Amino acid sequence: MELEQILKAIDGLSLEDRQQVYEYLSRDHPAPEAIDVERIKTLFAELRDGFSEADLEALEWAMNVEEIRRVDGKIDAAVYGLYGLEADEIALLRPTPP
């Protein structure tokens, strides 16, 4: 939600509801935590540790595969990191890891 939308929504509130918004905003709220980029890099390095290059390629492939099935199990659409395929071409594809 954009700030402008929030302000317009507040304008539409009753006087009592505006008072509640004012009281809410007047309270102390904890600041959002800063993102520790170095910690994230360390965690990703730890995640990669112990995986072979082939393992990592297979994981990357799996994360880029999406298959959407209807309730009856038939494939409605499949996306394998490829775009511009016709529906009948997509239905023929089956996920096969590298």
Domain count, the chain: 2
Give the global pTM: 0.32
What range does the domain containing 21 cover? 1-30
Tell me the pLDDT tens digit for each residue of 24-72. Answer: 989 988 877 888 889 999 998 888 888 888 888 887 777 777 665 555 6
Nearest residue to 89 via CA among 79, 64, 7, 97? 79
For 5-19, give one letter per residue: b (16+ CB within 10 A) or e.
eeeeeeeeeeeeeee
Do 24 and 57 fall within a single domain? no
Q: Are 90 and 78 in contact (CB under 8 A)?
A: yes
- Residues pairing with 79 in the sheet: 66
- Residue 39 lies inside a defined structural domain of this protein: no
Do 59 and 91 fall within a single domain? yes
